Chain A
Amino acid sequence: MKHRGLFLLQLGFTLVVCAFLIVPVILSIMAGLTVNYFVGIESGLTLRWVIEVWNGYRDTIFLSIGLSLACLVVTLILGVPAAYVLAKRQTALTRAMEELLVMPVAVPGLATALALIVTYGSLSGFRTSWGFILVGHVLFTLPFMVRSVLAVLSAIDLKTLEEGAASLGAGFWPRFRDIVLPNCRSGILAGSLMVVTLSMGEFNMTWLLHTPFTKTLPVGLADAYASLRLEVGSAYTLVFFLMIMPLLLALQAFAKPRPAKFVAEETE
């Protein structure tokens, strides 16, 4: 077969790309479990570094989990209703709003963080609380929730479904509860996964927004990479992987191109 060579060439290339992405992950996991990475795996396997990280950085882990869940709650409260309105009203105003909402993602986190600091940094109670970081995370993750829900709402005939519910006597709020929310469940779920994952890993803003008492996991990671031995950094990374891997796998299931869910209209 003539194209066999081309196929193998592409396969080989793809395998190299795969190795580029996966090998460092494996190396880092190994390093985190090896007694001495410089000597190699012969030095033996140990949980010593993981335990060291757990003892030293436990707080950052809990803070990150709490922060990402709080971020999820806020983006749900702010984002889902906003997405609904944006799906329902396609006016110049709502389109401008949609464009604006995405800006914190387009604009580098560093700039957003600086802007927050120069504006609210003097409110010391707020500046030193984890709420300050939360604000940054919500700004950054909100567009993902909105877009994810908006994508689902735009794919269904929301207007007719709502009219159907209204014709059966359902007012505005019952319609929102019974029709809108259940039908954008998949968008809410995908958006939630994205929000939690991104919040868990957010560093660009958090590095400027955090204080010594509000260190998140990625901040701790940066600390560890800069000042501690490679094995500890690796062990810390391993802990991070363990935390976000389920989220990433779930995200992958959503991101993968899938066949259309609803079959085309057929007749009896």
Chain B
Amino acid sequence: MRHESRRLILLLLPAGIFFAAFFLLPMARLFFIGGSGKTGWAAYAAILTDAHYFSSLLSTLGVATATTAATLAISGISGVFLQRHKFPGNGALVAMLTLPLAFPGVVIGFMVIMLAGRMGLIGQVTQALTGEKLVFAYTMSGLFMGYVYFSIPRTILTVMAAAEKLDPRLEEAARSLGASPWRVVLDVIIPGLKPAFISAGAICFATAVGAFGTAFTLAAKINVLPMVIYTEFTLSANIAMAAALSFVLGIVTWLVLAVARTAAGSSVAAAG
């Protein structure tokens, strides 16, 4: 089957060439440009040594961690619930929960503005109730809300798919041994969903670290790494620093996903 190998290489070649020319080569170039600025290769350490960059790294990781925790909790509860209980309207609920599956970040930013912006629903309601208008769309909380909004649909799908595969007999066995509902959740359901949680969580995290559209829509003032990179590139024209920072950011998100993939043992679907 020597001919076949040649044909298979031929079929893989277009994707390979495209990928090498437009991803590998540019990434390599980005790496070298990152080291070509005023500070040289020290630019790669700046994310830790420069107070400004370091603080934005911390807040980026903070918002990503919070997003991941909140999304997993919300999607875990609702996903298992919707998988376990089939009632009239169940399908409609699933449809609504997964509708924003591919909303882009900018649109999600706008959804946050509709809820928590200056003319948002939350502001109107709080004003009517307390006389004080609650507006937080343009802050870190707004960003957090946007990322949770973004992550819920895909996480719920992952959780539901995993919950479907859980063997209900395990729960029955646990209950027959005298476990309370909470212990069943703790000892059977959560361990069973762990791989799904790891893979979905990694995607939440990576998205929250690297996404740009939501932050851009909400405000340029929010101090997260993608916004810092964007500012370095456009306003300060500091291309080397932008390159170094984005290279580091890329490595971080890629590592998170790669580690999660190994930990979960199954393939982690890519983030949107």
- Asked if the two chains touch in their complex, CB atoms less than 8 Å apart, one says yes
List chain A positions with a Cβ less than 8 A from chain B.
Answer: 3, 6-7, 10-11, 13-15, 17-18, 20-25, 27-28, 31, 37-38, 77-79, 81-82, 84-86, 88-89, 94, 97, 99-112, 114-116, 118-120, 135, 138-139, 142-144, 146-147, 172, 194, 197-198, 201-204, 207-208, 218, 221-222, 225-226, 230, 233-234, 237, 240, 244, 247-248, 251-252, 255-257
Is the beta-carbon distance between A102 and B270 smaller than 8 angstroms? yes
Summed over the interface, the residue pairs from A and B with CB atoms below 8 Å come to a total of 255
Kindly supply a per-residue 1/0 record for chain B positions 11-45, scoring 1 wherever the CB is within 8 Å of any chain A CB and 0 otherwise: 11011101100111111011001000000000000
Q: Looking at chain B, what size class is its interface with the partner chain?
A: 35 or more
- Whether A118 and B29, one on each chain, are in contact in the complex, defined by CB atoms closer than 8 angstroms, is yes
Report whether A255 and B98 are in contact in the complex, using a CB–CB cutoff of 8 Å: yes
Q: Let me know if B264 is at the binding interface, CB within 8 A.
A: no
B16 touches A110 (CB 8 A): no
B101 touches which of A78, A135, A146, A255 (Cβ 8 Å): A255
CB contacts (< 8 Å) of A202 on chain B: these are: 104
Cross-chain contact B18 with A81 (CB below 8 angstroms): no
Given the known interface contacts A13-B77, A112-B26, A255-B157, the answer about A21 and B97 at a Cβ–Cβ threshold of 8 Å is yes
Residues of A within 8 A of B30 (CB): 111, 114-115, 118-119
Question: Could you list which residues of chain B lie within 8 angstroms of chain A, going by C-beta atoms?
Answer: 3-4, 7-9, 11-12, 14-16, 18-19, 22-27, 29-30, 33, 74, 77-78, 81-83, 85, 93-107, 109-115, 119, 121, 149, 152-153, 157, 160-161, 164, 181, 206, 209-213, 216-217, 226, 229-230, 233, 239, 242-243, 246-247, 249-250, 253-254, 257-258, 267, 269-272
Contacts of B109 in A (CB 8 A): 225
A28-B210 Cα distance, complex, nearest whole Å: 26
**Known contacts A85-B12, A119-B25, A204-B212; is A114 also within 8 Å of B242 by CB?**
yes
Of the candidates B16, B95, B247, the one whose C-beta lies within 8 Å of that of A111 is: B247
Cross-chain pairs A/B with CB under 8 angstroms, 9 sampled:
A94-B12, A105-B270, A105-B271, A114-B233, A139-B22, A146-B15, A172-B4, A207-B212, A252-B99
Taking a contact as CB atoms under 8 Å apart, the answer to whether B270 and A110 are in contact is: no
Contact of B12 among A14, A24, A97, A226 (CB under 8 A): A97
Residues of B near A118 (CB, < 8 A) are 26, 29-30, 33, 239, 243
Given contacts A21-B152, A112-B23, contact A218 B106 (CB under 8 A): yes
- A10-B85, A143-B270, A256-B94 given. 4 additional CB < 8 A pairs? A119-B29, A147-B270, A172-B4, A204-B211
Min C-beta distance of B121 to chain A, whole Å: 6
Cβ of B212 and Cβ of A108 under 8 Å apart?
Answer: yes
Smallest beta-carbon distance B270→chain A, Å? 4
Q: Is A106 touching B270 in the complex (CB atoms < 8 A)?
A: yes
Closest-by-CB residue of A relative to B24 is A100
| A interface secondary structure, majority | helix
Q: Complex Cα distance A105/B50, Å? A: 28
Question: Among B19, B26, B153, which residue has its beta carbon within 8 angstroms of that of A116?
Answer: B26
Contact A106 B104 (CB under 8 A): no
Contacts A6-B181, A115-B30, A116-B22; A109 near B106 (Cβ below 8 A)? no
Q: Determine if B253 and A221 form an interchain contact, defined as CB atoms under 8 angstroms apart.
A: no
**A97 cross-chain contacts in B, Cβ below 8 A:** 12, 16
Contact B213 A218 (CB under 8 A): yes
The one of B19, B111, B153, B258 in contact with A28, judged by C-beta atoms closer than 8 angstroms, is: B111
CA distance A255 to B160 in the complex (A): 11
CA separation between A147 and B4, bound complex, in Å?
Answer: 23
Which of B22, B93, B272 makes the CB contact (< 8 A) with A14?
A: B93
